Chain A
Amino acid sequence: MTASHSMPAERLLDVEDVHVHFPMREGLVKAVNGVSYHVDKGEVLGIVGESGSGKSITARAIMRLLPRNAREAGGCIRFRPRTGEEFELSALERNSRAVRQVRGRHIGMIFQEPMTALSPVHSIGDQICRTIQLHMGFDRQAARKRAAELLARVRMPRPQQMLDNYPHQLSGGMRQRAMIALAISCDPSLLIADEPTTALDVTTEAQILELLKELQAETGMAIVFITHNFGVVADIADRVAVMYLGRVVETATVDDVFYAPKHPYTKALLNSIPRLGVEQGRRLPTIPGMVPDPFSVPAGCSFNPRCAHAVPGVCDVTAPEQHRFANGQAARCHFAEQLAEAVHA
Chain B
Amino acid sequence: MIGFILRRAFWAIPTLIFVSLISFIIIQLPPGDYVTAYAAQLRHGGEYITAVQEEAMRQQMGLNDPVLVQYWRWISDIVLHGDFGHSLEWNAPVSTLIWDRLGLTLAISSLSMLFTWAIAIPVGVYSATRQYSVFDYIFTVFGFLGKGIPDFLLALVLMWISFVYLNLNVGGLFSPEFQTAPWSAAKVVDLLVHLWIPILVLATGGAAGLIRVMRANMLDELGKPYVETAYAQGLSEGQVVWNYPVRVALNPFISTVGWALPALFSGDIITAVVLNLPTTGPLLLKALQMQDMYLAGSFILILSVFTIVGTLVSDVLLAWSDPRIRYA
Contacts and interface: CB of A to CB of B under 8 A. Distances in A.
Contact of A118 (B229, B237, B327): B229
A105 B234 contact: yes
A166 B233 contact: no
Interface residues of B, number: 23
B248 A134 contact: no
B236 interface: yes
A168 B323 contact: yes
B65 interface: no
B32 interface: no
10 contacts: A103-B233, A104-B234, A116-B226, A119-B247, A119-B248, A120-B323, A121-B248, A134-B233, A168-B327, A179-B229
Contacts of A112: 225
Contacts of B233: 103-104, 130-131, 134, 182
A121 B321 contact: yes
Given A121-B247, A121-B248, A166-B327, A100 B225 contact: no
Nearest to B229: A117
B248 A101 contact: no
B306 interface: no
Interface string B306-328: 00000000000000011110010
Contact of A103 (B231, B237, B244, B324): B231
A109 B234 contact: no
Interface string A57-80: 000000101000000000000000
Nearest to B222: A68
Interface of B: 224-226, 228-237, 243-244, 247-248, 251, 321-324, 327
B241 to A, nearest CB: 11
A119 B232 CA distance: 13
B233 to A, nearest CB: 4
B322 A121 contact: yes
Given A117-B229, A119-B230, A121-B247, A100 B324 contact: no
A275 to B, nearest CB: 34
A36 B233 CA distance: 25
A219 interface: no
A121 B230 CA distance: 13
Nearest to B323: A166
Given A100-B236, A119-B244, A131-B234, A182 B229 contact: yes
A103 B323 contact: no
A65 B247 contact: no
A17 interface: no
Given A120-B324, A121-B248, A121-B322, A100 B235 contact: yes
A165 to B, nearest CB: 9
Nearest to B224: A116
Contacts of A111: 225, 228-229
A120 B225 contact: no
Given A111-B229, A117-B225, A95 B327 contact: no
Nearest to B233: A104
A61 B266 CA distance: 52
A267 interface: no
A109 B225 CA distance: 12
B232 A118 contact: no
Given A116-B226, A119-B226, A119-B248, A134 B323 contact: no
A146 interface: no
A166 B247 CA distance: 14
B234 A120 contact: no
A197 B270 CA distance: 59
A168 B248 CA distance: 14
Contact of B231 (A65, A182, A183): A65
